[in-house]
C-alpha cells in the first residue's frame, strides 16, 4: 500500500482543463502536486525539488517540448517520467521510449488507468 501523502508529483501540462482533471483525480490521494505550464518551468521546478517522485509530462509543451524537457530532467536524476500524449500510434510509442520516458498515457486520460500507472512508479 502506497502512502501517497509522502509523495510529490510534478504535472507538466499547459492546458488548464487537462491539468484540472488530473488534479481532481488525485485530490483524494492527498499527494503533493506541482504544476508546470512550460517545459522550461518543468525543468526549473524539478531542479528546485529533487525529491519529486514522479513526473507526468505532456509532450506538447511551450518553450521546451516534453521530449527535450525529459532528456534534460533525466540527465539530472533518473526520476520516473510518464508521457501524456494526445495520440499514440505504434511508431510514436517507440519514439517515446527512445526519448527516455518510462511509460505513457494517452489522452483523454482515464482515471483508473492514470491511478494504476502512477501506483506502478511511486
Nearer to Mg ion, 40 or 122 (CB): 40
Residue 14 interacting with Mg ion (CB under 5 A) = yes
The Cα 56–Cα 96 span in angstroms is 13
The Cα 97–Cα 115 span in angstroms is 21
Phi-psi region of 100 (alpha: psi -120 to 50; beta: other; left: phi over 0): left
Burial group, residue 10, by CB count within 10 angstroms (0-12, 13-18, 19+)? buried
Q: How far is the CB of 110 from Mg ion (least distance, A)?
A: 18
Residue 107 interacting with Mg ion (CB under 5 A) = no
Region near Mg ion per CB under 5 A, out of 11-19, 27-35, 37-45, 74-82? 11-19
Distance of CA 7 to the CA centre of its chain: 14
Residue 60 interacting with Mg ion (CB under 5 A) = yes
Region near Mg ion per CB under 5 A, out of 2-10, 59-67, 88-96, 106-114? 59-67
Which position among 58, 67, 73, 105 is part of the footprint of Mg ion (CB under 5 A)?
A: 58
Amino acid at each position: 500500500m502506497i502512502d501517497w501523502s509522502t509523495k510529490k508529483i510534478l504535472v507538466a501540462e499547459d492546458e488548464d482543463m487537462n491539468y484540472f482533471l488530473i488534479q481532481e483525480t488525485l485530490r483524494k490521494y492527498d499527494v503533493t502536486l506541482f504544476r508546470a505550464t512550460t517545459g522550461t518551468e518543468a525543468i526549473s521546478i524539478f531542479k528546485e525539488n529533487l525529491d519529486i517522485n514522479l513526473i507526468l509530462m505532456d509532450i506538447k509543451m511551450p518553450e521546451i517540448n516534453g521530449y527535450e524537457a525529459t532528456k534534460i530532467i533525466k540527465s539530472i536524476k533518473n526520476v520516473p517520467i510518464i508521457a501524456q500524449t494526445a495520440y499514440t500510434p505504434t511508431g510514436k510509442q517507440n519514439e517515446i521510449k527512445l526519448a527516455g520516458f518510462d511509460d505513457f498515457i494517452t489522452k483523454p486520460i482515464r482515471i483508473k488507468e492514470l491511478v494504476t500507472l502512477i501506483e506502478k512508479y511511486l
